[in-house]
Structure 1
Amino acid sequence: MPPKKAAANTSAKVTKAPPAMPKSSTARKGSTSKVTAPATRAAPKRVAYQPKKEVAEPKATIKKAAPKRAAPKKAITATSSTTTAAKMGTKRKAEEEAEAPPAKKAAVGRKIAPAKKPTAKKTALAKKPAAKKTAPTTKGTKRKVEDEVEAPPAKMAAIAKKIAPAKKPVAKKDATATQTKAAATKKTTSTRKTQTEVPAKKSTAEKPAAATSRKRKATDESAAAPAKKAKVLKKGAVINEPPTERLNVYVFGEGSAGELGLGTSKRAIDVMRPRLNVNLAADKVGVVQVVAGGMHVIALTHDNKILTWGVNDQGALGRDTEWDGGLKDVDAAGDDSDEEDDDNGLNPKESTPGEVDFSAVEIAEGARFVQVAAGDSCSFALTDDGRVYGWGTFRGNEGIFGFNPDTEVAKRPVLNTDLKKITSITAGANHALALDSNGAVFAWGSGQQNQLGRRVVERTKLGGLRAREFGLPKGAKKGIVSIVAGSYHNFAIDRTGNVYSWGLNNYGQTGVTENAGEDEALVLKPQVIEALKGKHITSIEGGGHHSLCSTSDGDCLIWGRVDGHQMGIEPNEIAQMGDNAMMKDDKGAPRIIRLPQKVTAIEGAVVHVAASSDHNVVITKEGKAWSWGFSANYQTGQAETEDVEVATMIDNTATRDVRLNGATAGGQFSIVTAGVAG
């Protein structure tokens, strides 16, 4: 919501409208299919952020607001028990809340009770005659005074001292006095708006709880609990080892939302070719793994830190990035030109790599992080003892879907208690996969395109937020060694080399030819990709509507959507493909490649592949990067805004004499890495 207009001021104070951010359309042409999923993984571009208004003071100079993006919509506060419970996707029903007494409803309005706790249960005051006083029933030592039904002073003192047993009545007092106090309590409970009010007379031993949570947002629930004392990592619990090679990180593409991690320099917006990110220099930071999401990035360092940067609208960065913005001094004539001013107006806390805040979650002492993963608005981290922590949220066709059954948006890391002894994690646009030490695969998130490998119906769709193992064919059970998530489809490789796929198949992106190309086509259960049998896949990746892989022979194979030059193959080569391998649209133009085809333009053996919605980057054994596809925001690193039709080597000063070893692709940007000795 835009801020209110400032009152008129007679001083020479004006505000210039912030410049429009660069547009980066990812719309594709030539599609006749009714696609249920977005065409790109990237979240929509955001408009300029509006900083908080400052009170103008008469000065000889005037201030101009730096360009900012619009702040995300305010989270819905938990002030209405019925409405909030529905939006948070909890299992509580409105009719259950209606049965509860007023005091109970007030407590619910401020803190959503667990799904399994009955809400219609009557309180002690409701059951007992007015002439008697009964101490409220407490459930656990963690229950706060603000969650209790307001009681007379004697009872409050007992609660504060924690001496009143759950069901032990307090000694009887004069009936008339008790009735008077009970009536006063009932009146206060029915009219008050918060639970911070206490009777006028209190015991000197009473210490009421702080009122810091009365307006706590539902999206902040994951960060409310203080960190517990860390447990010591058990002997023999380590099942994963972290990578150790330090990397230099080169970035290119769209950076108007801080995705490149280059900070607030004006040169950080549109980077046409790979540029070394000095904020992540190997000798100073020592990144050992980096993964791009839709509009944010997550990296793991050699000293066990997790860094994030980019868009933090739904908590994808896992840390505080609040920023009031800056003001620029301009002269009386309104001229703000300053050759030395190199500020692009980005939030420095988002556009500069920062460490994730794990202070509100318990991590075993001595545990190390070994792998990270990123989706469109979510992030994950895996520890050496097989635990998975995550933050952010998943999005569905209707908007924010939720992060887990109890949390809509996790702004700080939370432990996924459904997962144990995990050895690998990966994330698509709005879902995630995990592989455990027994070779079983777990999936969770949005399942509207059957990404979860199990049918999710509207009535039970929130069940998809729980990580669950799903059925793999008999031969694959307890034999999966590798998992990869595309935007809306997935791959799993078993010990024998078979590649299984499932999920959205409206452009044949799963590699399963049955029903490939049909509107809303899905592969409901994991199926073997017959065309990849015996190919010995070394790396595989899924984009928005296409997929590619590398083989032990060094070939790069690709399949799926054609009309956005996702294939990187010469048009005349595609035209010569038979009807068995290719499908055409109504006008006779190539639309889908159904069977994996070799990208012949690449010179050298391909050892690593990366894909985003409509562009690709691969690395050869010789350490060179090749790219192609949609390039409106320079995401191919070829200094081109037109589509790069055929796979082309990236050649520039920064990487020409560098041996590259990895790549990752975001919505409108890309990253390549190079190892550094020592």
Structure 2
Amino acid sequence: MSWRIRMNVVSSTRHLNHSWNKPGIQFNLIDSISQQRKMTYQCVNMKRSLPKEITSSITAEKKKHKSSTESPSFVLVCGQNICGQLGLSTNIIERRKPQYLKIVNNFNIDENIQSIYAGGMHSCALTITGHVYTWGCNDDGALGRITDDIDDEYMPGLFVLPEEIKSICAGDTFTVALAKSGRAYISGCFRSSEGILGLFEYKQIVQKPIMIPLNQTIKQIACGADFCLLLTENGDLYSFGNNEIGQLGRDAHLEIQDNFSIWLRPSQIPSFQEQNILNIWAGGHGFFALTQNSTIHLYACGANSFGQLGHPSKQPIYSPVEIQRFPCLDKIIKISCGLQHTLILDSMGYVHGLGRSDDGRLGNDLANDIIIPKQINNLTNIFDIAAGGSVSFVINQNAQIYSFGMGDTCQIGHSNEDIFIPTLVKSKQLEQRNIQHISVGAQHTLFLVKEER
């Protein structure tokens, strides 16, 4: 995966905003309210002159917060903060244990978070009111907002959108938000082995979110490091982004391989035109699709250099192939893809791993690649899994977190030592709190938690 470790905190180059009007595709940049370039997140007890409709909306929002009896959800973070991906102050380099991240709106009210997503070097959070906050590296426009200085990147700020959002997703250098209407918005760009690939046009970087040009209602989005999948209400599966090693599922030999604009425009994946798609999962440089007609089938494509797709060949897979050696396909609940390994969660609460196994990322001390999914010992009653670059997390029914894998980035919540056996993550910040979800980036981890009642 093309994750970048940025050693210089302040980038010397800032990308300019772009707009296009290309034949066949119309791009409309989303302007922020009152043409503001950024939102301010410090309340200073001063009178504001706002339109009545905005004031009414804010008043309703305050009442909603006060009247809510449900315990709000919030975010904990750990790992590296070199690019502000933890959302903590600029003088914090790393956090080895989960730490509380304060996300507040423009009136200093704590936001109630419903979902989180970690990109390569940036982070996203979605509130229960459908607003999106982003923070971290913005060199390629992934935050969807203009950041004039480094402090802006280290502070959660609004990813301004024209409608209510229901889910979020991110890759290494881009962020996607899916609205309740079925429209999706994206900012940033895709990268390839040669550097910036572009978004919808070659070498283009989009710093403010634009709508993905697709004339279908989108119901699910999955993001890999450098590509994106769109599953529509009609059951069609589209892909766009980088296709160097087959991650788009569109045979590169059938396309003009040097014509990157073909990769960058959402196009239907031919293999799934007659398939009933149940679910999709993406990560690293590959993806899985679970389908069912008369029986259930699992397909995969992309990079398979360590057998992480479960196919015996370790060559890139350019067109989706059926994976036949997965146990109990009808019991698969979730698949989470790291950089070179994969976790599978079944309905019995067991976790299976495959792909690269060194550094403990598959919960053992083996050195050989695992091609056929192997159940990870001592993990039972698991309800969620998360795989990152070289690390893995699981959450059991008792809301306990176990992690394992490479410790260099401090993102597994223990120390900077590799963990080869799933180990309980202990922290005062996790006590008396229910863990709802975990998302893992290149060097950091996000935890969505709620106070116990």
Question: TM-score with structure 2 length normalisation?
Answer: 0.83
User: Are residue 438 (structure 1) and residue 213 (structure 2) matched?
Assistant: no
Matches within 5 A, 1:572-591: 574=366, 590-591=367-368
Within the candidate set 66, 72, 85, 2:13 is matched to: 72
Partner residue, 1:512 = 311
C-alpha separation in 2, matches of 1:415 and 1:646: 44
TM-aligned CA distance change 1:322 to 1:227, over 3 Å: closer
8 Å contact 1:387–1:419 — kept in the other structure?
Answer: no
- Find out whether 1:486 has 2:289 as its counterpart: no
In 2, Cα distance between equivalents of 1:309 and 1:549: 29
Count the aligned residue pairs: 410
Q: Distance in 2 between matches of 1:499 and 1:291?
A: 25
What residue is the counterpart of 1:498 in the other structure? 297
Q: Are 1:594 and 2:371 matched, yes or no?
A: yes
Secondary structure of residue in 2 paired with 1:43: coil
Tell me how far apart the structure 1 counterparts of residues 24 and 169 of structure 2 sit (CA, whole Å): 32
**Aligned partners of 1:394, 1:552: CA distance in 2, in Å?**
34
Q: 1:620 aligns with which of 396, 400, 411?
A: 396
3-state SS of paired residue (1:667): coil
Q: Give the partner amino acid of 1:670.
A: T
The CA deviation at 1:270 is 1.1
1:74 to 1:498, Cα distance in 2 relative to 1, 3 A: closer
Asked which structure has the greater CA Rg, the reply is 1
Secondary structure at the counterpart of residue 472 of structure 1 = helix
Question: 1:428 and 2:224 equivalent?
Answer: yes
How big is each residue's C-alpha offset from its partner over 1:244-303, in whole Å with a ceiling of 9 and x where there is no partner? 994221111101211111234x3x321111112133699820111110000001111112
**Mapping for residues 30-179 of structure 1, pairs under 5 Å:** 38=1, 42-48=3-9, 69-72=10-13, 114=22
1:568 partner letter:
G
Q: Which amino acid aligns with 1:491?
A: F
Give 5+ residue unaligned stretches, structure 2: 35-69
Aligned partner of residue 595 in structure 1, secondary structure:
strand
CA distance in 1 between partners of 2:33 and 2:165 (Å): 18
Question: Residue 293 of structure 1: which of 107, 115, 119 is its match?
Answer: 119
* Structure 1 position 646 matched with structure 2 position 443: no
Q: Which amino acid aligns with 1:524?
A: S
Structure 2 distance, partners of 1:312, 1:652, is 30
* Structure-1 separation of matches of 2:210 and 2:20: 18
Residue identity matched to 2:102: V
Judged with a 3 Å threshold, the aligned counterparts in structure 2 of structure 1 residues 310 and 408 are, in CA distance, closer, same or farther, namely same
Tell me which amino acid in the other structure corresponds to 1:612: G
Please, what is the CA RMSD of the aligned residues? 2.8
**Structure 1 counterpart of 2:159:** 356
State the alpha-carbon separation in 2 of the partners of residues 246 and 566 from structure 1: 32
Q: Matches of 2:282 and 2:78 in 1, distance apart? A: 23
1:656 aligns with 2:452: no
Confirm or deny: 8 A CA contact 1:498 1:533 kept in the other structure: no
CA displacement at 1:625 relative to structure 2: 0.7
1:273 corresponds in structure 2 to: 97
Please tell me whether the aligned partners of residues 424 and 435 of structure 1 are also in contact (alpha carbons under 8 angstroms).
yes
Give the drift of 1:73: 5.7
Match of residue 525 from structure 1: 320
Higher strand share: 2
Q: TM-score, normalised by structure 1?
A: 0.57
What is the SS of the residue equivalent to 2:262?
A: helix
**1:213-612 equivalent positions in 2, closer than 5 A:** 223=29, 246-264=72-90, 266=91, 268-279=92-103, 284-323=110-149, 347-358=150-161, 363=162, 367-405=163-201, 408-456=204-252, 457-472=256-271, 477-495=274-292, 497-513=296-312, 515-516=313-314, 520-522=315-317, 524-534=319-329, 536-569=331-364, 571=365, 574=366, 590-602=367-379, 604-612=380-388
Gap change, CA 1:416 and 1:601, over 3 Å in 2: same
8 Å contact from structure 1 (residues 445, 466) kept in 2: yes
Q: 1:226 to 1:291 in 2, by over 3 A?
A: closer
Separation in 1 of the partners of 2:3 and 2:199? 18
Counterpart amino acid of 1:632? D
Amino acid at match of 1:606: I
Task: Check the 8 A contact 2:11/2:139 in 1, yes or no.
Answer: no
What is the CA–CA distance in structure 2 between the aligned matches of 1:400 and 1:245, rounded to whole Å? 42
Specify the SS of the correspondent of 1:591: coil
Kept in 1, the 8 Å contact 2:246–2:316? The answer is: no
**How far did 1:305 drift?**
1.1
Post-superposition shift, 1:613? 1.1
- In structure 1, the gaps of 5 or more residues are 1-37, 49-68, 79-110, 118-220, 229-243, 324-346, 575-589
* Alpha-carbon shift at residue 642 of structure 1 (Å): 2.1
- Counterpart residue number, 1:334: none
Corresponding residue SS for 2:88: coil
In 2, the alpha carbon distance for the partners of 1:44 and 1:507 equals 23
Per the alignment, do residues 643 and 612 of structure 1 end up closer, same or farther by CA in structure 2, a change over 3 Å counting?
same
Instruction: Kindly indicate whether the alpha-carbon contact (under 8 Å) linking 2:199 and 2:264 is maintained by their aligned counterparts in 1.
Output: yes
Q: Percent identity?
A: 25
Q: Which amino acid aligns with 1:658?
A: R
CA distance in 2 between counterparts of 1:483 and 1:676 reads: 31
Q: Partners of 2:167 and 2:20 in 1: how far apart?
A: 33
Q: Give the SS at the match of 1:532.
A: coil
Does the aligned pair in 1 maintain the 2:174–2:187 contact within 8 Å? yes
CA contact (8 A) 1:299 1:306 kept: yes
The residue number in structure 1 matching 2:60 is: none
Indicate the SS of the match to 2:221.
strand
Partner residue in 1 for 2:51 = none
- The one-letter amino acid paired with 1:47 is N
